[in-house]
Structure 1
Amino acid sequence: MKKYTKLKIVMVIIFIFAILSSFIYYFDEIILPSVLAICDGEMRARAVQVMNKSILEKYVDEFDYEDIIKFQKDENGNIVLVQADTLKMNKIANEVSLEIQEELNNLSYQDVKIPTGYITKNNILANFGPKITAKMQPIGHVETKYSSDFETAGINQVRHKIYVEVKTNIKVILPMANEDVQVVTQVPIAETIIVGKIPETSIQMDMNKQ
């Protein structure tokens, strides 16, 4: 009888252990990655929104294409040199970086609450279940750089586009896990049509030198 009781206890312990192991495996391999993916997407979207807003506000107010991009022409009116005012462009970029850093720091005080029903990927269950609280923390500094494209826009016409790219890292913080996420956004800040041919050797658009 005692032997049977001990065997029964052992079987119960094994059963409980198996259930716990299965739950831990399911949580670690299925639930946790799903929660992280949802939180990563939400935090990334919020960070990009803040970054784009800061970029647009700053460049609308301070970026004047004609003031920053200079053309030199020969005696026949042909463009021989296209040059950017790198000092002014980098000054604006540095100001944007500082503003974005401040906005991201403010964003870190806001929680995101995601219902566990989102994990099921079912529209009916999406808003049900206890909510998981996620936070965001900026990591490191904000990197800002420019890029520039020239493309044919018609006979003897060239379209010039200037973009600013902002890159930073954030940490998504959950009660059960953390994950580092890189956030990158690229925003067009200027576009103009240039009349006349532009030789490739005449373009000096190294806009990221201090």
Structure 2
Amino acid sequence: MKKLILLFLAFLSIFFILDMYLRPTIKNMSENKAKTIATEIIDQVVLEELSTINIDGQKLVNIEYDNSESISSVSTNAYFMNLIKTRISAAIQKKLSKLQVKTLEIPLGTLLGTEILNGRGPAIPVKISMSGSSMVEFSSQFSESGINQTKHQVYLDVNTKVTIIIPGHSSSSNIHTNIIISEIIIVGKVPNFYFK
């Protein structure tokens, strides 16, 4: 009976040592996989939605001139921008909600952490659960683009938080993506307060 208990304790000790040794590699590879999947989702959704919406810089930005042909105001079409934001946010959230259990196959050599065996050996399947949330905002930037020319860019800022769960551990990764959706060269003097 003592031998059986000692054998069980030895097996349990080896299991915990292996778990402590392998967990960082599994955690890092799981986080990288989650970031890759989330980035692919964001890129795909933004591309699909922007192609169906048919964005034109004139729809997003309105430039008004005064009597002396100087720019008096630069305004954005809030309705159109909110439409874009809502559609992209909903589509990203829909795809992120479909993330469930993924199987990550890690070569045994990679798990063991040796450089010579890295990427080699039979693939060990590791199940990871994923979930995510996303927030979409707009930002804009003015910059000088030449003599009496100003470049105005409107960005779509997508912030996504992806949570991965592996047995005995969970972690979150934040992914920030900036996409230019409009770029206009404004000819004429732009008031200095737009550059602040």
TM-score of the pair, normalised by structure 1: 0.77
Q: Give the aligned partner of residue 167 of structure 2.
A: 175
Q: Give the aligned partner of residue 19 of structure 2.
A: 27
Distance 1:122 1:107 in 2: 32
Distance 2:72 2:81 in 1: 22
Distance 1:153 1:123 in 2: 51
Which structure 2 residues correspond to residues 7-22 of structure 1 after superposition, within 5 A? Answer: 21=13
Q: Give the aligned partner of residue 138 of structure 1.
A: 131
Unaligned stretches of 5+ in structure 2? none
Q: Give the aligned partner of residue 90 of structure 1.
A: 82
Which structure 2 residues correspond to residues 59-78 of structure 1 after superposition, within 5 A? Answer: 59-62=50-53, 63-78=55-70
More strand by share: 2
Amino acid at match of 1:191: E
Aligned residues: 191
For the residue of structure 1 that corresponds to 2:98, the secondary structure is: helix
In the TM superposition, what whole-angstrom CA distance separates every residue of 1:66-90 from its partner, at most 9, and x where no partner exists? 0120011011211110000112201
For the residue of structure 1 that corresponds to 2:24, the secondary structure is: helix
Cα distance change of structure 1 residues 131 and 83 upon mapping to structure 2, 3 Å threshold: same
Shift in Å, 1:124? 4.0
Superposition RMSD in Å: 2.8
Shift in Å, 1:20? 5.6
Shift in Å, 1:103? 1.5
Amino acid at match of 1:34: T
Distance 1:123 1:80 in 2: 65
Q: Percent identity among equivalent residues?
A: 24
Shift in Å, 1:44? 0.5
Q: Which structure: larger Rg?
A: 1
Unaligned stretches of 5+ in structure 1? 1-8, 204-210
In the TM superposition, what whole-angstrom CA distance separates every residue of 1:93-141 from its partner, at most 9, and x where no partner exists? 11111101111223435433223432326364413245132334324x4
Distance 1:195 1:123 in 2: 59
For the residue of structure 2 that corresponds to 1:122, the secondary structure is: coil
Contact 2:100 2:129 in 1 (8 A): yes
